[in-house]
Amino acid sequence: MSNTELTAAVHPFEKRGLGMAPFKFVGSEVVVFRNPVTGEEKAGSTCDYCGTSIANVYHIKSKDGKLSKVGSDCIMSTYIGNDQAALVTAVKKEQAKARKAKTESKVNELDTLWDSEEMQAKLNSMPHPKGFANLTLRDYYAFVLNHSGTAGKLRVLKALKAL
């Protein structure tokens, strides 16, 4: 065996100091940091393998018991283990959870924006897009919000932010 082959045989996680191969996938979670003032959310953890900020965290355990956390890209491309099926299921589950959390945070953002006096005043000062004389843009969006699902609400959020 040549030197190159020997090097290639070392698990990438092991080379990066995450412990001895083989690695076992032990679980996953979503970690986000929410700014208490602005409500803005960002990835709340870091991948031990590549150093990228991550929100979807996958925990792995080395043969010698070292626990590490890696992101979805790194675990999918780099993880080698006999629990691949469980891993793929967990990755998909976390990704769905992250999408749901993102939607919820946008709906909260809409509620806050809609409830602000400034926004209400602004909307009340603008005409109804259908030209109804006694109605304002506020009445229009109030109607839309009462009659739409999440996708419609997110479109309103976008429109309000663009005002």
Name the site residues for Zn ion (rule: CB under 5 A): 47, 49-50, 52, 71, 74
- Measured from the CB atom, the residue of 74 and 87 that comes closer to Zn ion is 74
Question: How crowded is the C-beta side of 54, counted as CA atoms within 13 Å?
Answer: 23
Residue 111 — φ and ψ, nearest 5°?
A: -55, -45
- Measured from the CB atom, the residue of 73 and 139 that comes closer to Zn ion is 73
Q: In whole angstroms, how close is the CB of 58 to Zn ion at the nearest point? A: 9
Q: Which residues contact 56 (CB under 8 A, 6 or more apart)?
A: 28, 30, 71, 72, 91, 94, 95, 98
Q: In whole angstroms, how close is the CB of 87 to Zn ion at the nearest point? A: 15
- Measured from the CB atom, the residue of 67 and 159 that comes closer to Zn ion is 67
Q: In whole angstroms, how close is the CB of 77 to Zn ion at the nearest point? A: 9
Residue 1: both structure tokens together? 């065996």
